[in-house]
Structure 1
Amino acid sequence: MSRFKVSKFRNTEARPSRREAWISGIRAGTNPSCGNHIKSSCSLIAFNSDRPGMLGIVPLESQGDDKRHVTYLGCHSDMVTDLDFSPFDDFLLATGSADRMVKLWRLPAPGQELPLGPGLVLGPEDTQVEVLQFHPTVDGVLVSVAGTAVKVWDAAKQQPLTELVAHGDLVQGAVWSQDGALVGTTCKDKQLRIFDPRAKPKASQSTQAHENSKDGRLAWTGTQEHLVSTGFNQMREREVKLWDTRHFSSALTSLTLDTSPGSSGAPGDLGRGGSARKAQAHCG
């Protein structure tokens, strides 16, 4: 009997949209990193291309004709490891890279020429930038990860406001809570940590997340109390765990998915108030 579980999704089949809605001419990259390879605002889509340091930019909506044309932005001297659009500005894009820099780009409206250089540069860091994310409620503030360093930046001043300390190994993820009060991090030392950056640079809480150190992900629900992590157990099976920050010593519940070499992305839409209850009911 095989010790590996067979995925219940093995026979699922995707249904593509109408061909008229397709975006053609995509040259997407496959470079591994802890960050995102595609992001969208309400106006633009940005994605990692097959050329290191270059992003593809495409309008979210077609501009008069049925085709949406991809343009390419050369933004770093090495591969782009993460990217994020500002929640306050559809055309403000932050990029992090293996070249150890964070750059902010003012993108034009569709049909106009892309910028030749960034509007702001943060860094260089001591090692490659792994993850970055804009603050959800304060304009011009973002968090970045490089090695064991997690920094909260004031982009306008081009200076870090604080550095979140105590990570024992490579930090794999850093995510703002939806109200922007807390930062959750996942780390190769298997610890899940919660920070209040305004109060102190050290973690206010920490616990072991997953038994395997491979590539953890994290997402907050619609409240400060619940968050969801993904990772691997000792059998290299993918796991999803639901956490309550008020009872942080162990997960509320967990779900084992399957055995796969690929990581599980953190759930993308956790903004609804009932998400934690639904996840617990599904996992339990």
Structure 2
Amino acid sequence: MSRRVVRQSKFRHVFGQAAKADQAYEDIRVSKVTWDSSFCAVNPKFLAIIVEAGGGGAFIVLPLAKTGRVDKNYPLVTGHTAPVLDIDWCPHNDNVIASASDDTTIMVWQIPDYTPVRNITEPIITLEGHSKRVGILSWHPTARNVLLSAGGDNVIIIWNVGTGEALLSLDDLHPDVIHSVCWNNNGSLLATTCKDKTLRIIDPRKGQVVAERARPHEGARPLRAVFTADGKLLSTGFSRMILRRRLKELALALPPGDAESLGVVCGDCMRGEGNNFEEPVALQEMDTSNGVLLPFYDPDSSIVYLCGKGDSSIRYFEVTEEPPFVHYLNTFSSKEPQRGMGFMPKRGLDVSKCEIARFYKLHERKCEPIVMTVPRKSDLFQDDLYPDTPGPEPALEADEWLSGQDAEPVLISLRDGYVPPKHRELRVTKRNILDERRPAGPGRGPSASDAPLAQRTLESLLEEIKALREQVQAQEQRIRALENMLCELVDGTD
């Protein structure tokens, strides 16, 4: 008599549970734009949601604790002249968020810890470089102030937000619209998917495609890909059209080439037939639906959560180093379909309740938290569930990363819980073109008589710039003080 062997895993019994009604965020006019982004971004301090707005694009930012009904006059973050398509919180500053819009611009915003009394309309900086709408944003996982954007012009631009400069422009690697972009663990490589049905691995600093695979999924709907912690690639897509129905798929593939350079660690797979980027090492088929699958990967638990836009369920799988590599765990289902989804970073979870993931599900008029928990009886800190996780400190500066340096994320322990740091202001220092030496024209150099005049002009301009900067800083301090007084008056009359 054969006995069925049950696979041992501490995540086998992970279950999802929707928050109670009083812990949801009500009366939010979620955007109706037909775009395949998540429409929601969350960090340990704030929840941001793209909303409907007249006369341009806007999103709302709520403190996590501000649950319940949201006042219809609650201040928005406005400034774009067309709908906002994507938003992303900076992983190294919980008060900084970037937004991308149909108006071809990216704006970076500083969100105050207090509740503003009017709309936030002035970004820290506006980044202009795309010629068509910008639909994808992604901050670098380890380098300070490095932001990636991808637009309808098929171009990827990597920015230094601290100076407002475009560090890199990848404008000839994609022949069609880019559907998704994902950094690997240390930010040395990108995985992109495109309308041409090709999955690419790109070295952004060399501007080269390291590897590519055509049609990892045969269906016509957009596909997406994310790196796992050990360098594998998870892609989601659809099978061929069969009887007018599309079958969702999840594939796991190994990039070809040197394991060390690509960060691939897969034991026997690298020595066997699995080291073939043209064939997945694992393929999971799911139900039939038209909604694009949004993959959210947790490197600490190696669990991937799949949320279909327009679906009412979250499927989750554990990725392991042994065959069959991808193990189905469970499905969380609810009655209403999701319009978008936010995924909380690990440092924002409640470790006292064995919470290993938290989602923020967007409905038509509300946002509902969904908690994923591992059932444990002990009240002690569960070391096996919470390894050290990426914290808010960057490992590199932008210039160091651009010069070729790589570094793993700076990790923190969650043993005593995580307390978000106080408000940290992002300062943008634009480079002064007067500090850059202008090349002399052909056949002539600067004359000795020109030097004193140029020096005097430069000194006077620098003095004027310094005086103006001091004046602007003084006005900013006065505005901040007046806003604080106004907040105190408003709080006092409530």
Q: Shorter-chain-normalised TM-score: which range? A: 0.7 to 0.9
Partner of 1:97: 101
Q: Does structure 2 conserve the Cα–Cα contact (< 8 Å) formed by 1:34 and 1:131?
A: no
- The AA in structure 1 aligned to 2:105 is M
Partner of 1:75: 79
Q: Which moved more, 1:131-140 or 1:241-250?
A: 241-250
Aligned mate of 1:59, from 63, 70, 93:
63
TM-score by length of 2: 0.51
Instruction: Give the Cα–Cα distance (whole angstroms) in 2 for the partners of residues 127 and 107 of structure 1.
Output: 27
- The AA in structure 2 aligned to 1:276 is V
Q: Does structure 2 conserve the Cα–Cα contact (< 8 Å) formed by 1:101 and 1:122?
A: yes
CA offset at residue 273 of structure 1? 5.0
Question: 1:66/1:26 Cα in 2 relative to 1: closer, same or farther (>3 Å)?
Answer: closer
Instruction: Give the Cα–Cα distance (whole angstroms) in 1 for the partners of residues 289 and 302 of structure 2.
Output: 31
Partner of 2:401: none
- The AA in structure 2 aligned to 1:19 is A
Partner of 1:137: 142
Q: Does structure 2 conserve the Cα–Cα contact (< 8 Å) formed by 1:212 and 1:233?
A: yes
Partner of 1:47: 49
CA offset at residue 57 of structure 1? 1.2
Identity percentage over the alignment? 26
Q: Does structure 2 conserve the Cα–Cα contact (< 8 Å) formed by 1:217 and 1:265?
A: yes
Partner of 1:166: 173
Aligned mate of 1:257, from 279, 283, 286:
286
Instruction: Give the Cα–Cα distance (whole angstroms) in 2 for the partners of residues 263 and 100 of structure 1.
Output: 24
Q: Deviations 1:98-156 (Å, cap 9, x if unpaired)?
A: 11111100111142345321111111411110201000101110111112111111122
Partner of 1:149: 155
Partner of 2:247: 237
Partner of 2:313: none
Aligned mate of 1:24, from 1, 5, 26:
26
Instruction: Give the Cα–Cα distance (whole angstroms) in 1 for the partners of residues 166 and 113 of structure 2.
Output: 30
Partner of 1:280: 325
Question: 1:34/1:19 Cα in 2 relative to 1: closer, same or farther (>3 Å)?
Answer: closer
Q: Which moved more, 1:268-277 or 1:124-133?
A: 268-277
Partner of 1:3: none
Instruction: Give the Cα–Cα distance (whole angstroms) in 2 for the partners of residues 138 and 15 of structure 1.
Output: 35
- The AA in structure 2 aligned to 1:57 is V
Instruction: Give the Cα–Cα distance (whole angstroms) in 2 for the partners of residues 75 and 243 of structure 1.
Output: 41
CA offset at residue 61 of structure 1? 2.1
CA offset at residue 68 of structure 1? 6.6
CA offset at residue 207 of structure 1? 0.5
**SS at the partner of 2:76?**
strand
Q: Higher helix share goes to which structure?
A: 2
- The AA in structure 2 aligned to 1:264 is L
Question: 1:115/1:240 Cα in 2 relative to 1: closer, same or farther (>3 Å)?
Answer: same
- The AA in structure 2 aligned to 1:221 is T
Gaps of 5+ in 1: 1-13
Q: Does structure 2 conserve the Cα–Cα contact (< 8 Å) formed by 1:29 and 1:50?
A: yes
Question: 1:273/1:257 Cα in 2 relative to 1: closer, same or farther (>3 Å)?
Answer: closer
Q: Deviations 1:188-220 (Å, cap 9, x if unpaired)?
A: 11111111222x112111002222242222222
Structure number with higher relative contact order (C-alpha < 8 Å, ≥ 6 residues apart)? 2
CA offset at residue 175 of structure 1? 0.9
- The AA in structure 2 aligned to 1:22 is A
Equivalent pairs, count: 266
**SS at the partner of 2:26?**
coil
Instruction: Give the Cα–Cα distance (whole angstroms) in 1 for the partners of residues 140 and 104 of structure 2.
Output: 21
Aligned mate of 2:132, from 99, 104, 127:
127
Gaps of 5+ in 2: 1-15, 257-274, 304-317, 329-494
Instruction: Give the Cα–Cα distance (whole angstroms) in 2 for the partners of residues 60 and 202 of structure 1.
Output: 41
CA offset at residue 23 of structure 1? 1.6
Instruction: Give the Cα–Cα distance (whole angstroms) in 1 for the partners of residues 302 and 31 of structure 2.
Output: 35
Instruction: Give the Cα–Cα distance (whole angstroms) in 1 for the partners of residues 17 and 161 of structure 2.
Output: 41
Instruction: Give the Cα–Cα distance (whole angstroms) in 1 for the partners of residues 86 and 144 of structure 2.
Output: 19
CA offset at residue 76 of structure 1? 1.2
Q: Does structure 2 conserve the Cα–Cα contact (< 8 Å) formed by 1:172 and 1:217?
A: yes
**SS at the partner of 1:109?**
coil
CA offset at residue 269 of structure 1? 2.5
Once the two structures are superposed, the pairs formed by residues 107-122 of structure 1 within 5 Å of their partners are 107-113=111-117, 114-122=119-127
